[in-house]
Amino acid sequence: MSFRTIEWRDNKVVMIDQTRLPAEEVYNEYDDFKGVAEAIRGMIIRGAPAIGVAAAMGVALGAREIIADTHESFFKQLDNVCDVIGRTRPTAVNLFWAIERMKRVAQSNRHLDIKSIREVLKAEAIRVEEEDLEICRAIGRNGAPVIKEGAAVLTHCNAGGLATAGYGTALGVIRAAHEAGKNIRVFADETRPWLQGARLTAWELMKDGIPVTLISDNMAGWFMKKGEIDCIVVGADRIAANGDTANKIGTYSVAVLANENRIPFYVAAPISTLDLSLDTGDDIPIEERNSQEVTHVQGVQVAPDGVRVRNPAFDVTPARYIAGIITEKGIVRGDYRRELQALVGE
C-alpha cells in the first residue's frame, strides 16, 4: 500500500482526507478528540472498520485531554468523550464496538493511576489499528478463492484500504486474488451521492496496478445482463443476526440485479461488523444525511432550488441475496443465523 489511511503519530491522529481525493493526497493531523469526531461526521474518514479505528484513537486522544484529580472525575469525563464520538454516525456498528472496547479497557485498568490509564488507552487504540490490518489480510486470504482466474468483479462504494486501517475488506479480497497472480478486472460503481467508487476505489486500484473500469451506478444491470460481470464483492457497515447486511446506498439494487442474472453476490466484513443483538436488517438504524449531498456535486448545484430531497446513506440487502459472508475466520454460507452465532462463539 502506498498510503496510510490513519495512524497514531507523535500523540496525534493522522488521517488521509478522503474528501479531497483523488485530486489531492492530503493528511490531516488531530490533537483533540472533537476534531476526530468531526472528521468522522464530515466523511474525512469513512468506511466501517476505519471509523472504528478512528473512534478508538479519538477516545485515546480524549483521555489525554482530560484534567482530573480523581478517578471518578476522569471516568465521568471519559464517558462524555465517548458520547461525543458515539453521536457522529449511527449505522456503522464498528464505531460503537470500538468505543465499548476502549471503555472496557479503561475500566479494567481502574486500579492504575490516571497517567497510566491514558497510556493503556493509547496502546489499545494502536492495537485496534494493527489488528484491523491483520484481519483484512485474513479476509483477503479467505475470500480470494471465490474470484476465479480471468474474472470480472463488480464492487460498490469503497471497501478498500481507505475504508479500513489498510488493505481493505471487499478490496482486500480483490487484492489477495491479484497478489495470487490471478488475471482479474474490476468494475467500480461510481456510488452517488459521495462518489466513493469514482473518487476512492478507482484511485486505490489504479495505485496498485489492478485493472479497473469505472461505471455509473445505473449501468451495473446492463453489464450483468451482457455477461460481463462474474461476481460481486461489497463491504458492510452492520450485519444483523439473520445475515441481512447494511452497506452503502445502492448495494441492495446491485444485489437484486445480481440475483436476477444469477451472479454470486458476496459480502466481506470483519466479525466486529456483526450485530447479533439485531434480529433482522429491519432493526438497523439508517443514517439520513444533508440534502445538499444530492442537490450538489463537488460543490456545483445540479438540482432546482427548494426541491424535496431524501438522502439515506445506507440500505439493507436481505440475506437471501448473499452467496456468502467473508470474514477473517472464514466464509459463512446458508444458515446465517446459526453460522454467524457459531462464528462469534469460536
- Catalytic residue numbers read 237
SS3 state of residue 268: strand
DSSP 131: H
Cα angle for residues 185, 326, 166 (degrees, 5° grid):
70
d(CA 58, CA 13): 8
SS3 state of residue 285: coil
Task: Give the DSSP H/E element, type plus range, for residue 130.
Answer: helix 114-143
- Name, in order, each residue with C-beta under 8 angstroms of 245's C-beta and a sequence gap of 6 or more: 236, 238, 239, 251, 267, 269, 281, 316, 317, 319, 322, 325
d(CA 280, CA 241): 6
32: left (phi over 0), alpha (psi -120 to 50) or beta: beta
